[in-house]
Chains A and B, each alone.
Chain A
Amino acid sequence: MSDPDTIDQPEPVEIGTLPLDAWHRAKGGRMVEFAGYHMPIQYEGIMAEHQWVRENAGLFDVSHMGQLLLSGDGLDAALEGVIPADVAALKPLAQKYSLLLADNGGILDDLMISRWDDGIYMVVNGAVKYDDIGHLRDLLPDAITLNHMDDQALLALQGPKAVDVLDRLVPGVGALVFMTGARFDWNGTPLWISRSGYTGEDGFEISVPADAVEALADALTAAPEVKPIGLGARDSLRLEAGLPLYGHDLDPETTPVMSDLGFALAKRRREQGGFPGHERIMIEREQGAAVKRVGLLVEGRQPVREGALVIDGDGNDVGRITSGGFAPSVGAPIAMGYVAAALAVPGTRLALTQRGKVHHATVTAMPFVPHRYVRQTAVKTGA
């Protein structure tokens, strides 16, 4: 049997160790290199872990991601020179999705920002965090301080039972709604918790000092509803949720218009400009992108993965697959990729080629599995 063709990551100079490394190994995590760190790809198995998150709650260690705090006078205007979000309209404790863009509109990273009382907290992807810091430092004026919070770990607790578990440990988190956060205290440990995540389920992301993360991970997994979940299930969950993964579905060759991330381009910012790539992006919005990101339901049982080509009836190359795999909650293989704009219509049947074999797939609206975000907290009625 051949060695599996796994998704390649750039070879790092030295593989880093995250604060929970020993904890993952003790829990039976199978460690692989990802984004320059040793990380658990699975514990008991990807399918079981995936289903557990959809039905209960899963704990993910995402401490490889970059946590940054930006501060200084004139921060909102300065940051608007770098990202296309309406930073000025970002309310205290609110969270927004945004992008780092090159001058040609290509995506350098996708990220989250939250307004804190002492600045703007930003979470960026682990594999490109040092490039992001360099890019931000280049574009931000000297008056803006950029603090890489590399003494903080980051956990995600995801799934329909996440709120019950976390509210028992940290009372009050249940009052948060999707894409908002707040500071909390857990036995004297300061936490930043936002109601957000990358699985399509309700859940939370928790920034915790690295020296307290093991105690918090133990406390969370002590709950019967919680199991630790590896990167494998994180990938299948986010793919079913239709969420693009940077370095695969998004890269410097893709733009927000191609990748269907137009919602990240705030209306006022589109009109006023002043961020990298504005000109190219406005032309593309006007004229339409040549290719668009779509979801695909693959026929049969065999997964079609990143790197497969999309071909038309004459055998011409009309697109490429950027993520793909077996979707446990769908019970069939699914994929995400870029196809010529004329084909990016739900219901279009396409041919895909992989290792000399032709597969068929149908363009479908995403998400593949409905999102279950909590956008308003339950209103309790009197007894």
Chain B
Amino acid sequence: MSRYFTEDHEWIDVDGDVATVGITDYAQSQLGDIVFVEVPDEGRTVTKGDDAAVVESVKAASDVYAPIAGTVVEGNAALADQPDLVNSDPEGEGWFFKLTIADAGELDALMDETKYAAFVSRL
């Protein structure tokens, strides 16, 4: 399984033709206490860059973009009652949604863990 990252601070785990998407530890630390998450419904088709989810901290609302095109197969239902999972385990239990990968070629434009760490260190 490979993990990719975007400049918008999302992570993407690829397992076969399904990708799991969440926000990075850096992103959650910047947002602060997360009080609300809205994930996309199953069956929704997104293209790269679409607004796919909403994450709200005490102070601010942010959109989470679809990092690649695909069809949503599952949103993380646990976040409705426990949005703080995004703070406590952003790159694990705090995942946002899973989608089928429409075009595996889109993954090539994403960063790997080393490149993302270097990207964050320059911020």
Interface residues of A (CB under 8 A from B): 1-7, 41-42, 45-48, 232, 235-236, 301-303, 305, 325-326, 328, 333, 355
Contact = CB atoms under 8 A, between A and B. Distances in A.
Contacts of B64: 1-2
Contacts of B58: 46-47, 232, 236, 303, 325-326, 328
Given A232-B59, A326-B35, 19 more contacts: A1-B10, A1-B27, A1-B55, A1-B64, A1-B65, A4-B60, A5-B60, A6-B59, A7-B59, A45-B33, A46-B58, A47-B33, A235-B59, A302-B54, A302-B56, A303-B61, A325-B58, A325-B59, A326-B36
A1 B8 contact: yes
B38 A302 contact: yes
Which secondary structure dominates where chain A touches chain B? loop
A326 B57 CA distance: 8
A131 B104 CA distance: 58
A89 to B, nearest CB: 41
B56 A232 contact: no
B63 A303 contact: no
Contacts of A333: 35-36
A303 B35 contact: yes
Interface size, B (range): 20 to 34
Given A4-B62, A46-B58, A301 B35 contact: yes
Nearest to A46: B58
B63 A1 contact: yes
Nearest to B63: A2
B75 interface: no
Given A1-B9, A1-B10, A232 B61 contact: no
B106 to A, nearest CB: 18
A5 B64 CA distance: 13
B23 interface: yes
A46 B59 CA distance: 9
Contacts of B63: 1-2
A2 B33 contact: no
Interface string B24-38: 000100011101101
B83 interface: yes
Most chain B C-beta atoms within 10 Å of own C-beta, residue among A4, A301, A325, A355? A4
A3 B33 contact: no
Nearest to B55: A1
Given A45-B33, A301-B83, A4 B59 contact: yes
Contacts of A355: 61
B8 to A, nearest CB: 5
A305 B61 contact: yes
A47 B55 CA distance: 16
A2 B62 contact: yes
15 contacts: A1-B10, A1-B27, A2-B65, A5-B62, A232-B32, A232-B58, A301-B35, A302-B36, A302-B54, A302-B56, A303-B56, A303-B61, A325-B58, A326-B56, A326-B58
Contacts of B61: 4-5, 303, 305, 355
Contacts of A5: 60-62
Interface string B72-105: 0000000010010000000000000000000000
Contacts of A301: 35-36, 80, 83
Contact of A4 (B10, B35, B36, B57): B57
Nearest to A331: B35
B23 A1 contact: yes
A46 B36 contact: no
A305 B62 CA distance: 13
Contacts of B9: 1
- Closest 5 A-B residue pairs measured CB to CB? A4-B60, A326-B35, A47-B33, A2-B63, A46-B58
A42 B57 CA distance: 13
Nearest to B83: A301
B110 to A, nearest CB: 14
Contacts of B57: 4, 46
Nearest to A42: B32
B62 A1 contact: yes
Nearest to A2: B63
Given A1-B10, A1-B65, A4-B59, A45 B32 contact: yes
Nearest to B96: A1
Interface string B94-122: 00000000000000000000000000000
A47 B31 CA distance: 12
